[in-house]
Structure 1
Amino acid sequence: MTITIIGSGYVGLVAGACFAQMGNDVICLDVDENKINRLKQGIIPIYEPGLESMVLENQKLGTLTFTTDKKEAIRNAQVIFIAVGTPMGDDGSADLRFVRSVAEDIGTHIEREYVVVVDKSTVPVGTAREVRSIISSAIQKRNMTLVDSAAIDSHSVQNQQGSQSIAFDVVSNPEFLKEGVAIKDFMSPDRVVIGTDSPKALEVMKSLYAPFLIKSDRLIAMGIESAEMTKYAANAMLATKISFINEMSQICERVGANINDVRLGIGSDSRIGYSFIYPGCGYGGSCFPKDVRALEKTAADFGYKARILDAVQVVNEAQKMLLVEKITQRFGENLAGKSFAVWGLSFKPETDDMREASSLVLVRELIKRGARIKAYDPKAYEQASFYLKDCLDSLSLEGSKYEALKGCAALVIITEWREFRSPDFDEIAKLLNEPIIFDGRNIYQSLNMQSKGFEYHQIGVKS
């Protein structure tokens, strides 16, 4: 198929590379000329394992191209994916200005007799209907005739005046990619959700995703509004599990229980499972914080107060302060003259994404109290320079995990990168002023840190 993906960010770039890998002709369109020029040179703007090699391979084959030319990218596409950002607005709702702008562009430039337009961006319920209305208006401004997709066959349809008629359908196809394993998720999905009321569009989407579903048929068809809701409900459920286990960790610390044992005890129940019940210093990223707030705002717009969603956010924001509280309980509120080593800045391992990361709260709060920070992350150096540019007078970004330890009062672990799991503890003790670790992800909870000579603070276990 001939596919155009509008938006070359995380979702668009992964989708484009994976569709091209299956033999489709894919054009990635973006208004950011600098980004497109870099992509043409093989420079990938995000870190995602396996993505760079896949992009370069398909560029070489000619199945994946990049452009800023809207008309050229849109006019002959059979399937057009909308994969632009939907940032959070001031009131917590999803900002749809980029989606609306893209819908206008699609209506202005499509020329095929039948096109499937796919909402891949995370959007509130009702967006697909709005996108359809915008595209329809733009087509009618061109004095072209809109016809129902059921009336379109393999030949162009002409109206009585001889002008071309166009049919299109708008489909909701939410993404469920996990950063760090996005290529694997896309190439072998646990489900593909298609929201549409058009049998013709559904057949197109089934054909498009068939190569990814050879092992099992995991395509789930439903109404458009249900598909839009599914994305938000999934992220809200996962965020709820994280906040739940973090709230249990707070109770465990106070009553003398061990959250690591409690997690094993409840996770063994098949109704609960172990996924997303790891205690830590809060969730971040581009999805959970934004989507939970957007879903809460949608509920409020329809007259319902989403109490669970509100609690999920309150718990998460408090959890991001937990390491700060542990550090100040140990060293006092005045941290002037002290340096702290921070391992991990991205919101999770295997990504350089720092949006809403717990590290942003910790670094700023410690600096506010007079501390200096020496930080190391395997991939997020460039992102840290951007997101923490206001802190660079008191923050140094080190080239190795051990370099970050020199002369520091304690080590603080924020992100559970693999290279942090089995470090040289003798070297850590030698480089720190005192052998003190604040473990925000409990990665050393199974080790006897006291026997190694460390003062060890973790989440959900009384120190």
Structure 2
Amino acid sequence: MRLTVIGTGYLGATHAACMAELGHEVIGLDVDAGKVAALRAGRVPFHEPRLAEILARHTASGRLRFTTSYEEAGAFGQVHFVCVGTPQRRDGDAADLAYVEDAFAAVARHARKGALLVGKSTVPVGTAARLAERHPVEIAWNPEFLREGFAVQDTLRPDRLVFGVRTARAERLLRSVYAPVLATGTPLVVTDFATAELVKTAANSFLATKISFVNAMAEVCEAAGGNVRALAEALGHDDRIGRAYLRAGVGFGGGCLPKDIRAFAHRAAELGVDLGFLRQVDAINMRRRDRVVDLARELCGGGVLGARVAVLGAAFKPDSDDVRDSPALNVAARLELEGADVTVYDPEAMDNARKAFPLLGYALSAEEALRGAELVLLLTEWRQFREIDPVWAAGLVARPRIVDGRGVLDAERWTAAGWCFRALGGPPPGRNAATGSPRPTPAPRRADGSAGR
């Protein structure tokens, strides 16, 4: 089929490349000429595993091309996917739908007869119905469920597809688009506009709630002397709960979950439904950052003024260069404002981090960031950080003190290497991380990693 994808940000560029991978002819449209030029050259303007090779292959073959012309896109496409952003409004929690409304209006003006306009953007419930009333074209809604770092997999082999349609024809067209995906047995839910819109916002809200729940349990564990890792493991064995996303840490960030739960609560209130628990989910998430700052002060003797702090991580999650609402950079900036000498390192997000927080210090490697540090904060769980040898790291730092802000390090191993180790929801100092029983105090280590007092 001939498809167009309107908007070539994270969602749009991924969708366009993956639709070409499925065998369709695709035009991606964006009003940003610089972005279009980069994509035409086969360059992905963000980090996403596997995407660059797919993009380059199909731009080279001619199956995938990019334009800034709505006239060209409208004349070309049988099905137009709208993949533009819905950021949080500057004046409140509601979603800003200006990009969605402009895109639908522009495509509707230029679409050929019989074309189908399909929304993929995350929008407040009721948006699709309003757009359908406003424009004399057929509309459907097909929400996306991409995870950064797994976006190609989630597009080509999703765990489900959702079609919000009003006609059998719209369903048939979408079934044709996704025929190779459906042929693999991917579950399909065909429903109305409102339910399709709600699936995405409900999914994000449930995920955010699960993350904030385990972080609230981390607060209780700290207050009661418990161990949130053992608690989460025990909870995860219950099939009704499951293990996924039950790891306490500094909380979620990024361009989706924070804004989406706020917009959902706002829209529900407009409909007369109180989803106030989502505001508590948001509050729990934000105060995890406060806790990391508190632990940093505590390990530095009450304040971080003049302390050399190494922050491992800038992206809001691993396998991404996205720093939007990054907990890591939020904590780093707060410590810098309190007088700490902060150095940040991330394997992929350095350029974006520098643009967002130009006053922070940056290193070219984890080793450079660690050298001479008096405190280490692990705030993005990249594999290379999880696999750091604590003995090697102890030989680089000035003082072996670390806060595991993602709950991914082996506390016993780091403690045995001489580190003063703290984690969110972990047992208090002097208690065994696995059992909660008293543990022997390790001998302090010199900067070269050797034992000594």
Normalised by the length of structure 1, the TM-score is 0.90
What code does the residue aligned with 1:181 have? F
Partner of 1:29: 29
What code does the residue aligned with 1:109 have? H
1:228 is matched with which residue: 172, 197, 216?
197
Partner of 2:41: 41
Partner of 1:267: 236
Partner of 1:92: 93
Within 1, Cα distance between the matches of 2:141 and 2:355? Answer: 33
What code does the residue aligned with 1:66 have? F
Partner of 1:424: 389
Q: Deviations over 1:254-311 (max 9, x none)?
A: 1111111001100000000001111010100111101000000001112232121111
The answer on 1:437 being equivalent to 2:402 is yes
Q: Judge conservation of contact 1:100–1:134 (CA < 8 Å) in 2.
A: no
Task: Find the residue that maps to 2:178 and give its secondary structure.
Answer: helix
Q: Deviations over 1:67-115 (max 9, x none)?
A: 101100112310001100111012111100111111111121112x211
Within 2, Cα distance between the matches of 1:215 and 1:2? Answer: 22
Between 1:208-217 and 1:224-233, the stretch displaced more is 208-217
Within 2, Cα distance between the matches of 1:426 and 1:226? Answer: 53
What code does the residue aligned with 1:25 have? E
Give the superposition deviation at 1:30: 0.1
5 Å matches for 1:108-147? 108-111=109-112, 113-136=113-136
2:156 is matched with which residue: 183, 187, 204?
187
Q: Judge conservation of contact 1:107–1:134 (CA < 8 Å) in 2.
A: no
1:177 is matched with which residue: 142, 146, 150?
146
Task: Find the residue that maps to 2:403 and give its secondary structure.
Answer: strand
The answer on 1:452 being equivalent to 2:453 is no
Within 2, Cα distance between the matches of 1:444 and 1:336? Answer: 27
Within 2, Cα distance between the matches of 1:418 and 1:101? Answer: 41
Q: Judge conservation of contact 1:5–1:16 (CA < 8 Å) in 2.
A: yes
Q: Deviations over 1:362-404 (max 9, x none)?
A: 0121011101111110000111012112xx2xx2211110100
Give the superposition deviation at 1:328: 1.1
Partner of 1:247: 216
What code does the residue aligned with 2:421 have? Y
Within 2, Cα distance between the matches of 1:217 and 1:244? Answer: 30
1:309 is matched with which residue: 278, 289, 294?
278
Residue-pair matches, total: 427
Partner of 1:237: 206
Give the superposition deviation at 1:213: 2.3
Task: Find the residue that maps to 1:419 and give its secondary structure.
Answer: helix
Partner of 1:378: 347
Q: Judge conservation of contact 2:314–2:323 (CA < 8 Å) in 1.
A: yes
Within 1, Cα distance between the matches of 2:184 and 2:273? Answer: 41
The answer on 1:325 being equivalent to 2:290 is no
Task: Find the residue that maps to 1:114 and give its secondary structure.
Answer: coil
Give the superposition deviation at 1:427: 2.4
Within 1, Cα distance between the matches of 2:5 and 2:246? Answer: 35
Partner of 1:335: 304
Partner of 1:387: 356
1:414 is matched with which residue: 363, 367, 379?
379
Within 2, Cα distance between the matches of 1:43 and 1:59? Answer: 10
The RMSD of aligned alpha carbons is 1.2
Within 2, Cα distance between the matches of 1:360 and 1:452? Answer: 28
Partner of 1:405: 370
Give the superposition deviation at 1:45: 0.8
What code does the residue aligned with 2:15 have? A
Task: Find the residue that maps to 2:206 and give its secondary structure.
Answer: helix
Within 1, Cα distance between the matches of 2:388 and 2:288? Answer: 26
Give the superposition deviation at 1:217: 4.0
The answer on 1:51 being equivalent to 2:51 is yes
The answer on 1:292 being equivalent to 2:264 is no
Between 1:324-333 and 1:270-279, the stretch displaced more is 324-333
Q: Judge conservation of contact 1:5–1:82 (CA < 8 Å) in 2.
A: yes
What code does the residue aligned with 1:171 have? A
Partner of 2:225: 256
Q: Judge conservation of contact 2:80–2:116 (CA < 8 Å) in 1.
A: yes
Q: Judge conservation of contact 1:196–1:224 (CA < 8 Å) in 2.
A: yes
What code does the residue aligned with 1:83 have? C
Give the superposition deviation at 1:6: 0.4
Percent sequence identity is 37
Structure 1: segments with no counterpart, 5+ residues: 137-167
Give the superposition deviation at 1:133: 3.0
Task: Find the residue that maps to 1:66 and give its secondary structure.
Answer: strand
State the 4+ residue runs in structure 1 displaced beyond 6 angstroms.
Answer: none
In 2 relative to 1, CA 217–434 (structure 1 residues): closer, same or farther, beyond 3 Å?
closer
Q: Judge conservation of contact 1:30–1:67 (CA < 8 Å) in 2.
A: yes
Task: Find the residue that maps to 1:128 and give its secondary structure.
Answer: helix
Within 1, Cα distance between the matches of 2:302 and 2:68? Answer: 51
Within 1, Cα distance between the matches of 2:108 and 2:381? Answer: 45
Task: Find the residue that maps to 2:66 and give its secondary structure.
Answer: strand
Give the superposition deviation at 1:20: 0.2
What code does the residue aligned with 2:124 have? P
Partner of 2:9: 9
Give the superposition deviation at 1:242: 0.2
Within 2, Cα distance between the matches of 1:116 and 1:411? Answer: 53
